[in-house]
Amino acid sequence: MNPVFSIVMEAFLFVSLYIQVFLIITLFEHREALFRSKEKGARRKEQGGRSKEIGEGRKEAESVPTVSIIVPCFNEQATVVGTIESLKRLRYPADKLSILAVDDGSTDDTWSYLERYAADPQVRIFRKENGGKHTAMNLGIAESRSDIIGCLDADSFVHAEALSRMAPLFADPRVMAVTPAIKVRAPQTVLEHIQYAEYNIGIFLRKMYSVFNAIHVTPGPFSLFRRSVFEQVGPFKSAYNTEDLEMALRLHSHNCVIENAEHAYVYTTPPATVRALVKQRVRWTTGFLLNVRDYRRLFFSRKHGQIGTFTLPAGVISLVTVLFFAGYAAVDAATTTADSLSRWYLVGWQWHWQWPSFQPFFIDTTVVRLLTFALVVLALAFLFFGKRMATGSWKPSRDMAYYTIFYGFIAPVWVAISWGRALTRNVGSWR
Amino acid sequence: MSPYRKYLWAFVITALIFVGITLVSNYFDNQRVSEIRSIQDSISMNILSSETQFDLLKETPCDDLGNSSLSQELDTLGEQVSYLESARGSGDAQVISLKQEYALLEIKDFILMQNMTEKCGLKPVFVLYFYSNAGDCPDCSDMGAVLTALRQDYPEVRVYSFDYNGSVSAVKTLESIYGVKDRLPALVVHNKPVYGLKPLADVEKLMPELATMASSTAATSTGNSSGK
């Protein structure tokens, strides 16, 4: 290997390892996060004993904040009823919780499904011209007078305790937004299992980022906001079709605190095909790159804390690293194929079957290889941390195996497309 | 821990892991070099022993000369040296010195085998292969693969490979004996140089006697060069 190339490779691996070590130290400082996880059963002290779950007694009920959950819908006839029903099942005082379903100019039967709730005192329905998810959110915000405003994508469902585990975090007046723990709902296919493991890692990472107030996205599935913050920072924007990411960055630019309730579970329906998944991730990743460009003033700004010193640089570096190694692997695979073809031409079909012999001499122990090995070991550890935080179990499962085997082949595809899109500022469409 | 202290600690820990990995990597590299050296020592001892036997007992029955496993060892050594060269680079001092020793061992084996051929009436086929890793020979890697396939098919063929740009003067002497020019890859078959990349079938045509040899599918042992 060319020595300069080898140094570049080692530098990429060093930085990746640094990011992982930083997160491991954070986990070590907050290791209790791994040991108080339980999906089943009520958990009273999961927010570090700061507050009880809401609705437990009359006294607390008086200080319970009012909450509006906005459900923006665009052609969601298949799932919207399930989404609203899951909200109605939330264990939260009914008089403190209202649901605002906004039909953003659907062309299917979404509106007729929403009309079922016309007489429901807890649900308000709205219909408007199609204008994008952010416009539906803003309509809901304008129509609501609650203390807390949340959103729930119409393809997601909430755990009955989700709201009661999130709302108490607003007791801290600095907290302007609270994010949940998003899980993949009932994974069946290999692709869904891969995403299930990936979302679990996301639960772990979001918790770690929240420790140093550096969460970079307030996701569409069930993020809550203090209502007053919209007066301070303004309404949602289109933001390259990633309004949830832009809002988080905007909150950070106003030095707001974004919390995470790692046991407030929300279940999302993941894309069912590779094509749909790649499209979704291209939207997310392109949106990340373009929004980060718009908020580049946050980078290494002491005033804005760790979002600019850790999350954003780590995110950009990771995307460069993925591109670099995927490119290297692709060139390597192409060279190997070309070599095999030319050998085949020169030598003909050779079939000398041999059992692979184990010769320690030929084990690759270059620095690059050993660093990669260390990174993989830490990445596997993250997989287990995610599993533990999402399910309370350390047990390896097939979703982890699928993730380990396949993710590295799919992710570079959307990363590469997203870089192309971001550099040409081609935002693409939502769906 | 304050965030900025954590950044520092993360750096210290990452740097320690990095240094640790570099040390481990160097340790294994050194292990490899010493493994190669010990194989070279053993081969050179074997060759010396065969040469001595050969000189002492001009009338020794050919069966007793016993270097049947030497070719195999030399092949293994060749693979290991070339692995190390690809891992550490052609410019590495250790690699250069190992390659020089390897080239000398090959030449000694070549001379011994020629002497034995004469004395014992063997009919081995020798191929001298000159290559370059300096980036000026794009076909050398393919030529190497062709010769590997040749050896797999005909274990009796002895292939000696030499780096054309290596600094071993004995190799330079070989080049001038056979008149090998700077047009790589180059093969010397039946004392004549042949230039350029050739498919396996063409290389086989250079050695008509291969037709009478057992191919590897029938051979029971690989690496026995006696050809009896």
What is the structure's pLDDT at B152? 81
Take residue B221 and report the two structure tokens written for it: 């042992």
d(CA A219, CA B91) in angstroms, rounded, equals: 53
d(CA A233, CA A216) in angstroms, rounded, equals: 16
Determine the length of chain A.
431
Does the CB of B17 have a partner CB in chain A at under 8 Å?
yes
Residue A197's Cβ-side half-sphere holds a number of Cα atoms within 13 Å equal to: 25
What is the structure's pLDDT at B70? 61
Take residue B39 and report the two structure tokens written for it: 């194989």
- pLDDT band of residue A430 (cuts 50, 70, 90) is low
The mean per-residue pLDDT over the stretch B106-121 comes to 80
Tell me the three-class secondary structure of A114-169, residue by residue: HHCCCCCCCEEEEEECCCCHHHHHHHHHHHCCCCEEEECCCCEEECCCHHHHHHHH
CB contact under 8 Å between A370 and B35, yes or no, is no
What is the structure's pLDDT at A70? 94
Give A18-73 pLDDT, tens digit per residue: 999 999 999 998 887 777 654 443 343 333 334 444 444 444 555 789 999 999 99
Phi, psi (5° rounding) for residue A31?
A: -65, -15
d(CA B97, CA B161) in angstroms, rounded, equals: 16
Between residues B129 and B121, which one has the greater pLDDT? Answer: B129
pLDDT at A245 over 70: yes
> Does some domain include residue B221?
no
Give A159-190 pLDDT, tens digit per residue: 999 999 999 999 999 999 999 999 998 899 99
> Does some domain include residue B217?
no
Between residues A349 and A236, which one has the greater pLDDT? Answer: A236
Mutate to test the interface with B, among A9, A13, A21 (most CBs of B within 10 A): A21
Q: What is the mean pLDDT of chain B?
A: 79
Q: What is the mean pLDDT of chain A?
A: 87
What is the structure's pLDDT at A58? 45
pLDDT at B225 over 50: no
Q: Which CATH number do you get for residue B123?
A: 3.40.30.10
User: Residue B47 is which amino acid?
Assistant: I
Between A53-62, A184-193, A390-399, B135-144, the lowest mean confidence (pLDDT) is in A53-62
Does the CB of B28 have a partner CB in chain A at under 8 Å?
yes
d(CA A409, CA B209) in angstroms, rounded, equals: 50
> Does some domain include residue B220?
no
> Does some domain include residue B223?
no
Q: Over pLDDT 70: what percentage of chain B?
A: 83
d(CA A223, CA A151) in angstroms, rounded, equals: 6
What is the structure's pLDDT at B156? 79
What are the domain boundaries of chain A?
19-63+155-315
The mean per-residue pLDDT over the stretch A138-162 comes to 91
CB contact under 8 Å between A367 and B17, yes or no, is no
CB contact under 8 Å between B142 and A371, yes or no, is no
Between A119-123, A409-413, B81-85, B171-175, the lowest mean confidence (pLDDT) is in B81-85
The mean per-residue pLDDT over the stretch A196-204 comes to 95
The mean per-residue pLDDT over the stretch A96-117 comes to 92
- pLDDT band of residue A431 (cuts 50, 70, 90) is low
Query: Which of A190-194, A334-338, B55-59 has the highest mean predicted lDDT (pLDDT)?
Result: A190-194
CB contact under 8 Å between A14 and B14, yes or no, is yes
What is the structure's pLDDT at B215? 56
pLDDT at A424 over 70: yes
Buried b / exposed e over A336-373, threshold 16 CB at 10 Å, is: eeeeeeebeebbeeeeeeeeeeeeeeeeebbbbebbbe
DSSP-based three-state secondary structure for A259: strand
CB contact under 8 Å between A21 and B10, yes or no, is yes
Distance from CA of B153 to the nearest CA of A (A): 9
pLDDT at B50 over 80: no
Out of A26, A363, A374, closest to residue B17 by CB:
A374
d(CA B149, CA A350) in angstroms, rounded, equals: 8
Distance from CA of B189 to the nearest CA of A (A): 19
d(CA B118, CA B114) in angstroms, rounded, equals: 6
What is the structure's pLDDT at B78? 82
Buried b / exposed e over A137-164, threshold 16 CB at 10 Å, is: bbbbbeebebbbbbbbbbbbbbbebbbb
CB contact under 8 Å between B7 and A22, yes or no, is yes
d(CA B187, CA B166) in angstroms, rounded, equals: 16
β B157-163/B125-131 pair status: parallel
d(CA A65, CA A147) in angstroms, rounded, equals: 6
Between A44-48, B52-56, B95-99, the lowest mean confidence (pLDDT) is in A44-48
What is the structure's pLDDT at A286? 94
The mean per-residue pLDDT over the stretch B13-26 comes to 94
The domain defined by A19-63+155-315 folds into: Spore Coat Polysaccharide Biosynthesis Protein SpsA; Chain A (3.90.550)
Which structural domain range is residue B147 located in? 3-212
What is the structure's pLDDT at A428? 67
Query: Closest chain B residue to A361 measured between Cα atoms?
Result: B32
Query: Closest chain A residue to B198 measured between Cα atoms?
Result: A346
Give A156-165 pLDDT, tens digit per residue: 899 999 999 9
Take residue A140 and report the two structure tokens written for it: 């809901």
What is the structure's pLDDT at B212? 74
Split into its structural domains, chain B has a count of 1
- pLDDT band of residue A297 (cuts 50, 70, 90) is very high
d(CA B35, CA B29) in angstroms, rounded, equals: 10
Take residue A147 and report the two structure tokens written for it: 């203390």
pLDDT at B97 over 60: yes
Residue A73's Cβ-side half-sphere holds a number of Cα atoms within 13 Å equal to: 32
Give A100-109 pLDDT, tens digit per residue: 999 999 999 9
